A and B are shown apart, each in its own frame.
Chain A
């Protein structure tokens, strides 16, 4: 079902409010899956392919708005929420970067996040002992779970 434009805007506003609250709470608890932290990291690493073809989901300079949009806007090709698509391409089999000589899903020729230096940098980045890629995926999954539960 398509969300009406007004509905999407209201959903975004609610999410932004929630993200602000959750972000503060998460930071206070030292939890690394902070949505704003994840949004900032996504912004950095997703420069690797932004605006090539239909890959265009960084539509704002504000990390709160960016984060909220991932749960309301959909990828034009797959129709999935951007958050769902990003989780798929970042949920690597291990913390090592997927090799450049293969793809994620050969039959459909879908790949993990684009091959390139940014994939290697993301694999290498740790925040203390926490793998940054996992923090991003955890934050996205947590938000997707909450959204799913609230829709039940």
Chain B
């Protein structure tokens, strides 16, 4: 009797898991008919949906970035509106795959070990596994909303398009951003008041030979946060919670050793050793909200949040769901500089098949030209399974991007001063 109940429960839980899996990888159509498309601009997200986040954007101590954040020509998108995806350019079935497809295919082929190994590279949440899963340092963060922005450069008043091409009819689609392009992320966390508060702005700016990076936070060092609190709360010592928080900030010995390891992608992503500074909860949420909302964000390139001998943290961490950063945030381990960020961004478009020789691995790591999130394909239901280009037009150019003149089919010539392919440390997916 007991075993029958257990079996029934097991069966039911499997069915629920299967349903959840399907729900986790299904296309949800979006009505784009009312969204703006004009020369040099298009909406991915409805203005009403975007408005509260744009209104909450911080001031930044960088006039160029400030202009981008406020510009009506800056294009905003997110995971849902863009449909984050990767390309599968390895015959015999080629196409566009939403990031959830890899896991789904792996699960669906439990009897085929070579294909089932896809689950080693795509996690239970139907995303690439760490470090390609999500916004860097946020794998363990739940309280986060990430908005992406794209600022195309102009020359002589004309927006410079992303140029794209294919080397073969069914091969990988390549694209290059013009010099001057800025791609960024604005990160928000939700406060107990229900409002979204910004805590970080990240940027990548294309130059001819790469992407220069920067990252803006309200407080680059623990000492700067302590000073601000002391200034805003002159009686800070009389409040034991605030006092404890400030004392923690000023205490160099609070750094805890930590290690980031990717079991899935260990062959191309060495472990990162470092330290985290996990701040205690600051109970005065109004103070926190004020610190996040009213402080001008500054560049943290090369900044060290806190140092204790050889131990360094490059950002705060938090014990509280709502803090200077949200709980689970681990950018303390990742210094802000171009070389550091390239450890992941160098890997866009690398074929998964090269990572394990005895396995049938479909597809390439998401992204192109060292940008993960952006692509030029039209989101549709065929992205949510392994449809082929030939019978479903799986990889189809987004007509709204064409209409906006933000993309152009043209392979840049060698020596072009605005478009240049960046070197990659792995074979091109087309070559296999």
Contact B209 A114, beta carbon cutoff 8 Å: no
**A47 at the binding interface (Cβ < 8 Å):** yes
**Given the known A-B contacts A51-B312, A56-B310, are A120 and B338 also in contact in the complex, defined by CB atoms under 8 Å?**
no
Quote the shortest CB–CB distance from A90 to chain B (angstroms): 16
- List residues of chain B with CB within 8 A of the CB of A117: 207, 210, 212, 338
**19 more A-B residue pairs beyond the given contacts A44-B302, A51-B312, with a C-beta to C-beta distance below 8 A:** A43-B302, A47-B301, A47-B337, A48-B339, A49-B340, A50-B337, A51-B335, A52-B339, A58-B302, A59-B310, A100-B209, A100-B210, A114-B339, A115-B209, A116-B337, A116-B342, A117-B210, A117-B338, A118-B337
- Footprint of A on B, CB under 8 Å? 207, 209-210, 212, 270, 274, 301-302, 307, 310, 312, 314, 335, 337-340, 342-343, 423
Q: Can you pick out 11 interface pairs between chain A and chain B where the beta carbons lie within 8 Å of each other?
A: A47-B302, A51-B312, A52-B335, A53-B270, A59-B310, A114-B338, A116-B212, A117-B207, A117-B210, A117-B212, A117-B338
C-alpha gap A53/B271 in the complex (Å)? 9
Max chain B CB contacts within 10 Å: which of A43, A49, A52, A59?
A52
**A101 at the binding interface (Cβ < 8 Å):** yes
Quote the shortest CB–CB distance from B204 to chain A (angstroms): 11
Secondary structure at the B interface, as helix, strand, loop or mixed, is mixed
- List residues of chain A with CB within 8 A of the CB of B209: 100, 115, 120
C-alpha gap A58/B310 in the complex (Å)? 10
Contact B335 A116, beta carbon cutoff 8 Å: no
- List residues of chain A with CB within 8 A of the CB of B210: 100, 115-117
Secondary structure at the A interface, as helix, strand, loop or mixed, is loop
Residues of A within 8 Å of B, CB-based: how many? 20
- List residues of chain B with CB within 8 A of the CB of A114: 338-339
C-alpha gap A100/B338 in the complex (Å)? 14
- Footprint of B on A, CB under 8 Å? 43-44, 47-53, 56, 58-59, 100-101, 114-118, 120
Contact A50 B338, beta carbon cutoff 8 Å: no
Identify which of A52, A53, A59 contacts B337 (C-beta below 8 A). Answer: A52
- List residues of chain A with CB within 8 A of the CB of B312: 51, 56
C-alpha gap A14/B98 in the complex (Å)? 61
Identify which of A44, A51, A58, A115 contacts B340 (C-beta below 8 A). Answer: A51
Contact A51 B274, beta carbon cutoff 8 Å: yes
C-alpha gap A53/B335 in the complex (Å)? 11
Quote the shortest CB–CB distance from B414 to chain A (angstroms): 12
Contact A100 B423, beta carbon cutoff 8 Å: yes
- Which of chain A's residues has its CB closest to B209's CB? A100
Quote the shortest CB–CB distance from B154 to chain A (angstroms): 21
Contact A120 B207, beta carbon cutoff 8 Å: yes
**Given the known A-B contacts A116-B210, A116-B212, are A52 and B302 also in contact in the complex, defined by CB atoms under 8 Å?**
no
C-alpha gap A118/B423 in the complex (Å)? 18
Contact A52 B343, beta carbon cutoff 8 Å: yes
**Given the known A-B contacts A47-B301, A47-B302, A51-B312, are A118 and B340 also in contact in the complex, defined by CB atoms under 8 Å?**
no
